[in-house]
Structure 1
Amino acid sequence: MSQHPLHGGDPSVLRRLNSAATLRALRDGGEGTLSELAGRVGLSRPTTEGVLGELIRRGLAAESAPRPGAGIGRPARRYRFRAEAGHALGIDIDAHRVRLLVADLTGEVVGRHRAALDVQAPPGERIAAVRAAVRACLGAVRIPRRSLWAVGAGTPGVIAPDGTVTSCTAVPGWAGVRLARELGRSFPCPVLVENDANLAAMAERWRGAARAADDAVCVSSCPLYTSDAADEEARVHRGLHPKHHTTRTNSARH
């Protein structure tokens, strides 16, 4: 989709904006020639060529192999988004098991793993088991930790903004665990922790059954939680937690 040209202002800011717009055009629109990408982003050919050169140097873009039978003369160079340049790790921790997914930068899953957890295990043992599952998952797909750009972990309970489990009745001893900090010791990238039902709502809005919906409600099958919702911008509107009997919403009103 064509975007407005970005001109004027701080050159360093414009370079970042142009780089982000070009990268988004490659990721969402697929590979293209220099002229095609310039048209999608709304930039001049020289500017687009400079941006592509920088993205290639950073390892985020690459030249594609020429298409056969493209006509007489040298075929136009084509460029693609390097989805393999980085990865994200998703961790789902509940009372009985841990499930992991590794995805590339387009969100395509490239690895999966699951392991059983002892329901009565103390938090330290549970976290150690999660770390072991992470090693097994990354080892199976031969992805080094340095390739991870972000880690997202979902778990039952009320999760504070800093990733601390402030309340949880589904996992014994889980309340009070600073989960983001504990997991963060194992990774060189940001670690985000959120309630599992909230993450499920956002995932369905992004790539699941709610992609075409303006608003969606995700109902957890666990009887301890009510539903949360995600709106058209994938913002979570939090539902009721039975222990606290309060609701929290973001600043958007619908």
Structure 2
Amino acid sequence: MTSSEETPSFRLAYVPGVTPGKWVRIWNERLPDVPLTLVGVSAAEASDALRGREADAGLVRLPIDRTALSAIPLYTETTVVVVPKDHVMATVDEVSAEDLADDIVLHPLDDTLDWEDRPGRPANERPATTADAVELVAAGVGLLVVPQSLARLHHRKDLTYRPVPDAPESRVALSWLEDETTDLVEEFIGIVRGRTVNSTRGRPKPPAQPKSKRADAGAARRKPAAGKATGQSGGRSAGKSGGKSTRAGSGGARAAKRGKPRRRS
């Protein structure tokens, strides 16, 4: 089978915490003949996966190595601190970075937050993953600051989280190889940007069809003249009405004459 005969498909990479379900559903509605395959990758591996053509595009966390890659920021996440439910911070609405100064704040190797001055006290060892760090929080070893979607992804009944307004935020972006901005990549860009199915951006606009003079002339011939039709109708009605009135009047007079009694002399 040649490449021109291959069935088109689209591979979308995504990092933990990102939920592409809505966009995938729209893709399936608009392009039912082009299957979309999801490829899970870690945040650290996302750039290499795209450059290695393991996916056609990816939902990644910024910053990423932009060498040969294009990226469109999509949204920014709230940053939260994950704490045990019986921790004192669970009783407040939000926590500042300064409030974490006396606590051990875990720093997993797959952390995606770009800190200039990391809060709290460091642990003796860095957990390998965010999932491992969450287990340590549940064990009472320390606290964890992460994007809110990761706190939800690794939710446990014995843990909760609170916003940290002055912490760095995580930005999610759509990225792809700059030299491979295919029609399918453009389609997905349109979906994540909220373009409607009838949007003409990126597609050639069909030329306007000129009106046919012959069709216009035919329509004009078929259209009746209003004044002429009205005059003919009015004339016929008036003639009929006048004839009836005349005959009725003549008959009425004759009837009256026939019915007049004769006087006898």
Normalising TM by the smaller chain, what interval?
under 0.3
Larger radius of gyration between Structure 1 and Structure 2: 2
Q: Give the structure, 1 or 2, with the largest relative contact order (CA under 8 Å, sep 6 or more).
A: 2
Structure 2 length-normalised TM: 0.22
